[in-house]
Amino acid sequence: MKNNSIKEEFHMLNELLRKANRLINPVGYKSELGMITKNKSLIKKCPKCYLSLATKGRDNLLFPICNMAGAEDPRFIRFSLKLANKLRCLNKFDNIKLDGIIKKLNNLNSRFSKDIPKPANMASKKGVTTRHFHTIDKYIKDKIRPND
């Protein structure tokens, strides 16, 4: 139970960090996408932010996942997913590898498209607390003062 609440808090903090990053860096994601593709040092510094597909030429086709700060961004994931789906229709690339990339992007997109996890409401917390108090009260009556 503690593990689930820690995971919920972690997801909530992660989403809040993502929103704060959008407020701090008001650059549109399309212009940021252009900066990312031109910046080759970022590709070398953070290779986990990209999914690559080998092409017939020298360069690999990159599908960005992260923004300039290195955090996974749902806008980039959606863009990469649309691009991958369009490339699958062209039949110019290896469809097996492209399907694997689309599967990974769908997984990431489904993870980030969910709402922010919300803490349990006050009524359920009050109910749990009341049950604990009743358990304590019953224990005191049965074990500690049985004659009362």
Task: Report whether pLDDT(27) > 80.
Answer: no
pLDDT digits (tens, 9 = 90+) for 62-106: 888 887 777 788 888 888 899 899 888 887 888 888 899 999 999
Distance CA(116)–CA(36), nearest Å, equals 27
Distance CA(68)–CA(64), nearest Å, equals 10
pLDDT-derived band at 110 (thresholds 50, 70, 90) equals confident
Output the pLDDT for position 103.
93
pTM of the model: 0.55
Output the pLDDT for position 104.
92
Beta carbons within 10 angstroms of residue 60's beta carbon: 13
pLDDT digits (tens, 9 = 90+) for 55-74: 777 677 788 888 777 778 88
With the C-alpha atoms ordered 64, 69, 71, 75, is the resulting torsion angle positive or negative?
Answer: negative
Output the pLDDT for position 38.
60
Nearest to 20 by CA among 63, 67, 65: 67
Average pLDDT over residues 112-133: 71
